[in-house]
Amino acid sequence: MFVATAASGQSLQQNSERLVAHALTNSRAYETLSYLTDNIGPRLSGSRNAALAVKWTTDQFRAWDIPVRQEKIMVPRWVRGAERARLVSHNDQRIILTALGGSVATPVEGITADVVEVGSFDQLKTLGRAKIAGKIVFYNNPMDMELVRSGRAFEAYSKAVEFRSKGPDNASEYGAVAVVIRSVASASLRTPHTGGLTYERGKKIPAAAMTAEDAMLVHRLLSKGERVRMNLVLTPRTLPDVESANVVAEITGSENPEQIVLIGGHLDSWDLGTGAIDNGSGVAMVMETMRLLKELNIRPRRTVRCVLFMNEENGLRGGKGYWKTHESEMGRHIAAIESDAGAAKPIGFVTTLTGPAIVQLESQLSVLGRIGALRFETRESTGADTSLVVKGGVPGFGLRTEPLHYFDYHHSAADTLDKIDPNDLAADAAAVAALTYVIADSPRSLR
């Protein structure tokens, strides 16, 4: 049975300390993550494994005696097929690559064409149709490692990733027959990194990501003035949409149940690895937050709503579906907290709050100093799945973790459970739990 907490600041402090202490010493977040990754495995939207993850997480909430429901959505069903390439101009050397999510297929025999390298969309435009038509465009845009090493890995990623998402569309306008990119990654052991693309105009052309090593090989050959000719075979399929669901669990508020503090992470993953970093860890953190509140009999003033979003990776249908279903409730949402930044040591949160509001929150969350997570940085964007909610005027928060190695494994076959430190994951869960509780139980609302 839940015990409603008192309204005093002392009680707020005591309970946040209880949550953090319990999370650090009695965490089950790693256990949750282990089942998602090792037992269920990759969870690409529309797949059997994604459906298993929806069922298992729903059952887990029920086992913890936390009310839960599934909110149905339709999601895309893209299936990766064969993917291979070779340099027919250079003794059929093998090129290791992977199709970008949502890519169309090549003909069965593949596409054989000359490769032309570009480093920007402006360069693509300068070359024009005369030099691009009939060619495979190679976008060679590595992440800025100076930014990565200085703790700004997500900024480096955002600069490089536009060639993955928009590159195929832009190249097709000039008659390109396919696109290959340098994997958007901060490290590589000849491992390609996938990710979604967007077809919005022109002809859909096949697209893949080469490993950093193979991208450098192609660059070296082209830099010497040599003709590079590639045979590219990709056989993905886009099947009809599949019914899936967001998993929604709630702890009803004791005094203001109509007010909602949303916490969430995305349940789907890419199909190459098992989605431990992206984003099984985020799912484990928000599920653990709910379990901790329940186990410690802490019932905040406001309702805490946990949403495990489906289809963040290749469509954002879960985030869009949540907005469509709950748009009329936005005035009652007090905050939206998203966890989708891996599971390294927590360093704080990004937030849409500014100035005095951050100072007030920091004063209530001194407990986070214990785990090095008492840093708030104002940003416009705090998470993909909650982006519509935040644009609708709800204060947004996103967990920040030490980002140095996040993009070493992101969207690759190396995104597996062994990359997660259980102690770091427990600290992450503690940070999310403390922030959630303080916002949900503070006498002073953020809105």
| Residue of 83, 117, 250, 312 with catalytic role | 312
How far is 158 from 252, CA to CA, in rounded Å?
A: 37
Residue count of the chain, please give it: 447
Measuring CA to CA, how many Å separate 302 from each of 50, 101, 251, 256? 31, 39, 9, 5
Our answer to whether residue 31 is catalytic in this structure is: no
How far is 150 from 364, CA to CA, in rounded Å?
A: 29
How far is 112 from 87, CA to CA, in rounded Å?
A: 9
Which long-range CB contacts under 8 A does 55-58 form with residues at least 24 apart? Answer: 57/247, 57/267, 57/283, 57/287, 57/308, 58/247
314 cis-preceded (ω within 30 degrees of 0): no
Measuring CA to CA, how many Å separate 306 from each of 87, 248, 284, 286, 315? 49, 6, 11, 7, 20
Residue type, 255: E
Q: Which positions are annotated as active-site residues?
A: 312
